[in-house]
Amino acid sequence: MPDVAPPEFALLTLENGLRVQLRHDPRLKRAAAALRVAAGSHDVDPAWPGLAHFLEHLFFLGTTRYSGDHALMPFVQRHGGQLNASTRERTTDFFFELPTESFPGALERLCEMLAHPRLDRQDQLREREVLHAEFIAWSRDPQARHLQWLTAPLAANHPLRAFHAGNRYSLPVPREAFQHSLLAFYQRFYQAAQMTLSLAGPQPLEELRALAEKAGGLLRPGAASPRLPSPPLLDQPPAAIEPADPSRLNLVFACQQIPGDSASAVDFLTTWLVSAQPGGLLAELQRRGLVEALSLTPLYDFDGQVVLNIEFKLTAACQQPRALISELCLDWLEFFQSHDDWQGLCDEYHLLSQRRQLVRTALELARRDSEHFGQGGATHVSAEALTALRAILGQLRADTILHGPLIRSEAGSDVKWRLPQRNRFLRPSRRPAQPVATPACLDIISTAQPPGHEACLYLRWRIKSAQRAGLWRMLDHSLAKLREEASQAGVQLAFTSLGDDWQLRLCGVQDPMPALVEQALENLVHPAPEIWRQLGQLNAPAPLIPIRELLKRLPEHSLGYYQPPSRGRDEQLQAPALQRLWHTARWDGMALGLTPATTQALNVVLAKMPGHADTSLCQPPLPLHGRTWSQVPTDSGEQALLLFCPAAGEQIIDQAAWQLLAQLCQSPFYQRMRVELQLGYAVFSGFRQVAGRPGLLFGVQSPSTPMAEILEHLQAFLHTLPALVRAQSGNTLNEQCRDLAARTSLSDMELSQAAESLWQARLGGHSSDFIEQLRKAFGRLRSDALQQAIGQLLEAQAGWLCLANGPAVDESWQVAQ
């Protein structure tokens, strides 16, 4: 693997009390900030539930200095970044990621909005309605109800049992007492000594330090405000409560007086508890056909109190053996605890932590540094973490399960547990001695600079089989263990289905990729016997909120696959059908960033590729015609709608115009739909490449607005676009084009982003120099090209596709068949 320069760290405290951690990582392309406030929903006066979350929303309404299009959110959107915030029980986090050129402006706006929020009461009344819409969605969410069930046995006076979401009734904006509490909470906690700031980027430490000092100095100075400890987690022995969801089993433990670094301890325990390696808990439960998946999640971690949820996703065939699963889990925990020092696992954890740091984005690194502030990116398991781990394991017993008591099985456990083996993909692989030619159907694209340690690989099969949906589900399940091993080795491995195509994608550290592809092909062509035995036992995926379900289904619908494939009877699938499928399959692929050595190792593996190499698979998708409405039923009572408007014109300059138009739309669309009309909390727009088809995508989910009214507002917005573009000065448009061009180059784009753009372009029939051609096209754009794009959009020259969870609103739409 090519040498990777290690990151550098610095810690400092500004004069106003703000503590700052800096990370200089030369491999990064973008910069990120994560600001944490040591206050959350549990620190609010109980008289005003949701106040902390409400205040977090109010910050984004802008300041006197930065308002409207100059506020933080429009600024980040305009410069191609991402931004979000999160109010949790004891912390509130604000975080964003941007190209380095625009990073200083965003950091200054973040600190400015926290130092000088505009708490206008009319703004509060409007934003309260957005929170109320979120509350309605939360109250209907099965996962939210399940979380309430998980914590129901806790002490009644513990804040985890209380309501904190906030709605129009718990946030009485006109009342002076509420305004007094809102201001008091802000003044007490939103000052520098109550905050930490973590910056990560490719800039030198000196530059990051200067940015932190300039922006962080805007924050109000103060002294750290101590917070009241939480009451005990339990005030009486936990009582059994009937589970609401029969498809999963939850073992919830309330651990108290945990010393040391509990967050790192839980992360270490999770890594090995959920491992699918032979001899482990998950492998044993899957061997018996009891569970599909296993997870461990901390529900709470503050001041020595840790609430852990071990969740088992049960198979369809697993009806009653909950006591057996619980007993096997407790037996494994006792086995794990008996090893005490875990030296071998600590060494392995160090290796996989190092590997993960090599592929984390700037935002992921900044957020992790914020979560583990002051540790300087340490990858070793500390003595404090091991102390916390021992204390936690000591409290994970049968008599401490919240939803107990556990009815013990008669058989007991005689399993011979083993600690997880070393991950073979974390070690160097053997390279071929003789060169092998690259397949003609694999497009190897080099980056504009010497290859680094990361790469992306796409392999695609064109499949013809009436049973392809059931076979894909089975094969995707067969890759579960390999996905985990790949993730630990710094590679994201995904196997997806789109129309008649199956796709295997690997992105991350390139050194283990040939070995991962070799193992993946073995799993896909010759699934293990237990995979065949588990056919028919897998449950349907958990339902998503409506807008996410629509986004998931959009690629298939854009290709004309309007109905999901029937699940059929997977247990009737047989090996001969799979072998016939592979015999007639055709394949091609693309790779970005591979070194010559990795390419050679991959060529050897691809010599065993199932199917027939085919250089003619990349044909542009057939154009859409007219306005098509496709209904996607969901279980929610909320209205959700996606409008996808493919770009008209086949030239790259046409795509450049539509991409610029999408950027100009983003902030006004959000302002109109979410802020002014208050249609709902899930409102977005942007440019998307969908199954090789570029275009504009608009999305709205509303708890109360009728579908016809949502669409009416959306179409009315589209008719404001000619005036919106005319109002832009020539200098503004030129600046936007320069900004887009600067973000569109292989040398400045994140590798995964560049690879996905090139793959989508390939699906659309473009050549491998698409990104460079697009960058040059931005330099040639003029306002008349934008006006032409608007005309094509309003006339639906390339068609419109509307996905919604309700029927067509009128007869002007052609209902998808």
Residues annotated as catalytic are 56
User: Following DSSP, what letter does each residue of 106-151 receive, concatenated?
Assistant: HHHHHHHHHHS----HHHHHHHHHHHHHHHHHHHH-HHHHHHHHHH
Distance CA 797, CA 592 (A): 34
Is the Cβ–Cβ distance between 311 and 249 less than 8 Å?
A: yes
Exposure string over 485-515, b if 16+ CB within 10 A, otherwise e: bbbbbbbebebebbbebbbbbbbbbbbbbbb
- Say if strands 586-592 and 612-613 run parallel, antiparallel, or are unpaired: parallel
Looking at residue 752, its amino acid is: S
Q: What is the DSSP letter of 68?
A: G
Is the Cβ–Cβ distance between 134 and 244 less than 8 Å?
A: no
Distance CA 769, CA 445 (A): 9
Is the Cβ–Cβ distance between 385 and 54 less than 8 Å?
A: no
What is the phi-psi region of residue 473: left when phi exceeds 0, alpha when psi lies from -120 to 50, beta otherwise? Answer: alpha
What is the phi-psi region of residue 230: left when phi exceeds 0, alpha when psi lies from -120 to 50, beta otherwise? Answer: beta
- Say if strands 682-690 and 693-702 run parallel, antiparallel, or are unpaired: antiparallel
Distance CA 62, CA 52 (A): 17
**798 token code pair:** 């390339």
Residue 656, classed as helix, strand or coil, is helix
Is the Cβ–Cβ distance between 566 and 469 less than 8 Å?
A: yes
Is the Cβ–Cβ distance between 294 and 484 less than 8 Å?
A: no
Q: Which residues neighbour 424 within 8 Å (Cβ) at sequence distance 6 or greater?
A: 485, 515
Q: Which residues neighbour 551 within 8 Å (Cβ) at sequence distance 6 or greater?
A: 642, 699
Distance CA 341, CA 381 (A): 11
For residues 44, 49, 50, 55, the Cα torsion angle rounded to the nearest 10 degrees is -50
Is the Cβ–Cβ distance between 360 and 23 less than 8 Å?
A: no
Distance CA 42, CA 52 (A): 9
Distance CA 109, CA 69 (A): 12
Read off φ and ψ for residue 462, nearest 5 degrees: -90, 120
Q: Which of 508, 306, 495 is nearest to 390 (CA)?
A: 306
Distance CA 276, CA 289 (A): 14
Q: Which of 377, 39, 366 is nearest to 193 (CA)?
A: 39
Is the Cβ–Cβ distance between 658 and 688 less than 8 Å?
A: no
Q: Where are the beta strands (DSSP E) in 441-530?
A: 442-445, 454-462, 491-498, 501-509
Write out the H or E segment, with its range, that includes residue 283: helix 281-287
User: Residue 31: exposed, middle, or buried by beta-carbon count in 10 A (0-12, 13-18, 19+)?
Assistant: buried
Is the Cβ–Cβ distance between 153 and 241 less than 8 Å?
A: yes
**372 token code pair:** 């583990």
**777 token code pair:** 């096209």
